[in-house]
Structure 1
Amino acid sequence: MPDRPAYLRIADTLREGIRDGSLPPGTRLPTIAELCETHGVSEIVVRQAVALLRGEGLVETRRGGGTLVRVVPPARRVAMDRYRAVSRPLAVPETTFTRDQKITWEEYRLDKEFTRVRADDELGALFERPPGIELLRRRFVFYARGEPQQISVNYLPWDLVGDTPVSDPAREPWPGGTLAQLAYLGHPPTRVEEAVRSRMPTPEEAETLRMTGGVPVLAITRRMLSRSDVMEVCRDIVLPADRVVLDYAIDL
């Protein structure tokens, strides 16, 4: 068996140090020159090793600050019953996001962009209506304590929300979120469906969520139904995969 390439062996050594705690989060890796001298290799070999670890999401390189072991925030747990909790009467303003993040209303910020669009084939199928129906498209970026944590793009039928306060971006954030808005419109949700997949972020998503390379996202497609009618489609809720754990429980 031929020897493993030198850059893989260097990456293995650094990766082991990261995982066993000898290179804890926030630690600056040895410089390129130091790694070259330690391992007796050229600069290009060391750069290949570091690029591999960066692609795995283990390290990040900062301009003027060297390469550091990534500090990964503790993953928050997100459970399906969060929808049930927020659908009850609210003693204080909150949404599923503020509950997930355990933040106050004052620590919550929402960037929003509202547009009027027509449903493509996929959205038409999700709404169980013909393609081409008019929809209100709402793109949100959710912040907790000033840090972007989630992107959500959701759609509501224009014949339901047009010329109502729900179509007014100035009314956001709305206490109770989409659940409360649908109830306000006379169609309280009775069922929530979610489909979860994993993928790499788009460049725009990575920049918006301030993600480092090598980290995938969870993309959740959601439907809210009132009885048999689809009232809302979210395509998608986008979450950095290293910041969240999805909890699902089924009563048998």
Structure 2
Amino acid sequence: MADELRRRIEAGAVPAGSLLPSESALMAEFSVARGTVRDALALLRSEGLVMTEVGRGTYARPIVPVRRLASERYRKELEQVRSGELGTSFTADQQVGWSAYSLDRDFREVPASEAVAELFGVEPGTMILERHFLFRTHGVPQQMSVSRLLLEMVSGTPVADPENEPWPGGNTSQLYSLGHTITSIRERPRWRIPTAAEIEALRIPGGVPVVAITRQTYVGDWVAEVAHIVMRADRVELDYLLDLT
């Protein structure tokens, strides 16, 4: 039964966003018990093919916009810094204007854990400004991140004031305002099961993993920022050009 419903969804016989037959209708069509129907729907939910809402029923998962993450997106922030354009790498990825962009933020001063200290190349316990962000487009949550900066670098500056977020030009502009020009960025993505907090914040349906990216932002050989970024995997396409010439 699950195989047949999966085939119909993947073939488009059940269009994205449309309701599947009711449990009673599926029981009659496949001559199975209600428990078998529920087990099949649970399997399809775990695969991310269907979603169930109380009062509506079970429906084929809608097609969602895919965000293309390409290696050149941070060059866009350099262009924005130079031109004064209102935007960040996030708005460029989303292809939205500044007015459609908003974020929730929470700033904390914390000692660096061993893992974070290693990414920065500093001693554990070094004080860090930890910035928790939830990015939205048109009010819809798209991305979570924790961006970390060395406290001694930003303490008492506008960068340390959450009221200045969102900041046009993003991290590139913020570091530039402190006299630092980004020279390279290293990102390490991995796919994993979302946490309960991520499911709630990003409204992740069952069966959908997340892309978790660890980012190190370099000024020369020095790591100026460390970030951990989380996005729904069904809304992300990674596109990196590796130039070996």
How many pairs are equivalent? 242
**Alignment RMSD (CA, Å):** 0.8
Given candidates 116, 123, 127, the residue that maps to 1:123 is: 116
Instruction: Report what 1:137 is aligned to.
Output: 130
Which residue of 240, 244, 249 corresponds with 2:241? Answer: 249
2:38 equivalent in structure 1: 47
State the match for 2:164 in structure 1. Answer: 171
Structure 1 segments, 4+ long, off by >3 Å, are none
Aligned to 2:97: 104
Matched residue SS, 1:233: strand
| Structure 1 residue 83: Cα displacement | 0.6
Structure 1 Cα separation of the partners of residues 128 and 165 of structure 2: 18
- Mapped partners of 1:51, 1:170: distance in 2: 44
TM-score normalised by the chain length of structure 2: 0.97
What secondary structure sits across from 1:224 in the alignment? Answer: strand
CA offsets 1:82-141 (integer angstroms, 9 cap, x no match): 111211213421000000011111110011000000111100100011110000000101
Aligned equivalents of 2:29 and 2:76: distance in 1?
A: 56
Q: Is residue 72 of structure 1 aligned with residue 63 of structure 2? A: yes
C-alpha contact 1:96 1:177 (8 A) present in aligned 2: yes
Letter in 2 for 1:160: M
Unaligned ranges ≥5, structure 1: 1-9
Q: Secondary structure at the match of 2:203?
A: coil
For 1:18-37, list aligned pairs within 5 A: 18-37=9-28
Q: Quote the residue 2:73 is aligned against.
A: 82
Contact 1:72-1:242 at 8 Å conserved across structures: no
CA deviations over 1:6-55 (Å, ceiling 9, x no partner): xxxx1100000000110110111111111111111111111000000001
Percent identity, aligned pairs only, is 46
2:54 is aligned with 1:63: yes
Structure 1 equivalent of residue 229 of structure 2: 237
Aligned CA distance change for structure 1 residues 63 and 16 (closer, same or farther; 3 Å): same
Which SS does the other structure have where 1:211 is aligned? Answer: coil
Alpha-carbon distance, 1:188 to partner: 1.3
Give the whole-Å Cα distance in 2 for the aligned partners of 1:28 and 1:226.
Answer: 52
Q: How far does the alpha carbon of each residue in 1:43-84 deviate from its partner, in whole angstroms, 9 at most, with x for none? A: 111100000000111100011101000102131211111111
